[in-house]
Structure 1
């Protein structure tokens, strides 16, 4: 591709013409269950595309605290398998703590699935301002350790290396 990048990160923001994080009005009059299903289908597609080294905030659709009426665990399991099979890293995005959902992406209840599947992880602050660079990293590392992770991925010129926490 001619670009001297350390990594390529892919994130789903759009469902149709609008972004899932633009505001709660995006969800008005829509079935959240269907949106959740479509969103995870898009994330699975991105993870299997071969275009990305990392999939970022893969459950951003949680941003305003909406939840599907069903147990979403199978969606996380399927995505973990897709990421593992396509050698893609998932991101723990700490900036969710600064959003209405007030928690990291992905949903911490499902981190164990990614640990069990041995999907590599990285931690990212997704900082949109300098003061947030590295914000909540210590908490993220602790959470990952509690869920069975012992190392995380770092990249240099698209070469991945795993380092111990």
Structure 2
């Protein structure tokens, strides 16, 4: 079977969704999601039902690496599946996502928690939110490992340290 990358992002908003301070972020969500879905190497993502707030890949949980006092309305989280780490990096640092990323300090708190985590999954495996939260908490506690890693210290699907192919990932 072919391995794929599961990718979970985490941001702690300065204010809950609905507050004018973070409205610029909220306004960009549809275009950022559309750009991701049109990106080379993108397979799928968890989608939230706008009426019920339920996600297609199970209940959303807050990671323990963020302050326990935060409600889910102050956490911006995504969970998606990609062909490889370079595909995610190319999307993240180009186009509308790169533009939104350049404004992150306007909307998000800075903290000791990771802003994303990647891990390899089998082709038919669908990650869920419990798995994603466990992976980001592991990255926070242990640093980059084959089970939970980042762009700076990635691992290949066999668990061997590797490097990001900057030519494929560069803007």
**Superposition TM-score tier, normalisation by shorter sequence:** under 0.3
Given the two structures, how large is their TM-score scaled by the length of structure 1?
0.27
Higher helix share: 1
The structure showing larger relative contact order (alpha-carbon pairs under 8 Å, at least 6 residues apart) is: 2
Given the two structures, how large is their TM-score scaled by the length of structure 2?
0.26
